[in-house]
Amino acid sequence: MKPSERDAAHLWDMLDAASRTRDMMQGISYDALMADERTRLAVERLLEIVGEAARRVSAECRRRHGGIPWAPIIGFRNVLAHEYGEINYERLYAVATKGVPDLIREIEAILAPAPRGRR
């Protein structure tokens, strides 16, 4: 079942921010990320956008697509948005380098056009 237009828009927002995170993190080690404040802040913001868009996806859509870890994504967004001094940068790096590629695959599968039936 295809997501509603509203859910699809939020999924596209998630996909865009996740893709930008993946691209930004390509070839960057944890130490390089920690040494580069500009990149670190950009990644924080992009992951915050992913979480905000995930929060706006309807509960029904979230239930239908249980392969996405909705609660942890939204929870991490809350940490990024509200607990500036409490960010675990090892977790941020793991999310950006390991979780994001999996998330991209899941969202792309949801947004992929349904195969057309034979006539």
Q: With respect to residue 61, please indicate whether it lies within any of the assigned structural domains.
A: yes
Q: With respect to residue 53, please indicate whether it lies within any of the assigned structural domains.
A: yes
Q: With respect to residue 119, please indicate whether it lies within any of the assigned structural domains.
A: no
| Tally of structural domains, the chain | 1
Q: pLDDT tens digit string along 73-96?
A: 999 999 999 876 688 999 999 999
* Predicted TM-score (pTM) of this structure: 0.89
Q: With respect to residue 117, please indicate whether it lies within any of the assigned structural domains.
A: no
Q: Which domain holds residue 27?
A: 5-111
Q: pLDDT tens digit string along 37-60?
A: 999 999 999 999 999 999 999 999
CB 33 within 8 A of CB 39: yes
Whole-number Å distance between alpha carbons of 17 and 9: 12
